[in-house]
Amino acid sequence: MNYRIIGADGKTYGPVGLPDLRQWIAQSRADARTLVHVEGAADWTYLGLLPELAADFSAPPQRIGAVTPGVSRETNSLATAGFVCGLLAWMCCCCSPCCFPFSLAGLLLSLVALAQISSQSPPPGGRALAIIGLVLSAAHLLFTFGMILLHAALPQGNVNWQAHFP
């Protein structure tokens, strides 16, 4: 039976046989939490959960949920901040230009978060948050500028609206 593992550097190694895998464990190149794909299996799992390697580890790792290789459980903090700023821009002061800093911060934080997520391997979570933050912030900026332009185009002062709408 052949095995493929994902090393600490995020690269896939193998296929290798059981003796080579045991040697990697002995050399501390792999441990119970190393992701492994067994030839013929549908999903990846942890080395510590394989019955043929149970004796090589003191205790198997806890099963937390579905394991997806190359996906980190951490969320990019800038993506979260960009989402929060975009949301605050709409929730706190929808029609006010004083929320321009929230929109601008949300736009910049979301763009930086997307760049960071794309450049890291394995990519951290938060891509959806960054995209939503980007959309919220950009939409609020466009809305704010539209409202400013509309306000500038309307006549100022006392307007007799009854003359316009009989």
- pLDDT tens-digit readout, 96-153: 667 778 889 999 999 999 999 888 777 788 889 999 999 999 998 888 888 888 878 8
88 Cβ neighbours under 8 A, 6+ residues apart? 99, 102, 106
User: What CATH fold (topology level) applies to the domain 3-56?
Assistant: Dna Ligase; domain 1 (3.30.1490)
**What is the per-residue pLDDT for 65?**
53
Q: pLDDT grade, residue 164 (50/70/90)? A: low
Output the DSSP codes for 71-140. --S-B-HHHHHHHHHHHHHHHH-TT-GGGHHHHHHHHHHHHHHHHHHHHSSSPPB-HHHHHHHHHHHHHH
List CB contacts of 36: < 8 A, sequence separation 6 or more: 3, 4, 5, 6, 21, 44, 45, 46, 47, 50
Q: If you average pLDDT over residues 60-79, what whole number do you get?
A: 64
The C-alpha atoms of residue 43 and residue 82 are separated, in whole angstroms, by: 34
Most confident among 3-7, 28-32, 91-95, 149-153 (mean pLDDT): 3-7
- What pLDDT score was predicted for residue 145? 85
Amino acid at position 122, single letter: P
Task: Tell how many helices (H) and how many strands (E) occur in the chain.
Answer: 5, 4
Domain ranges of the chain: 3-56, 77-153
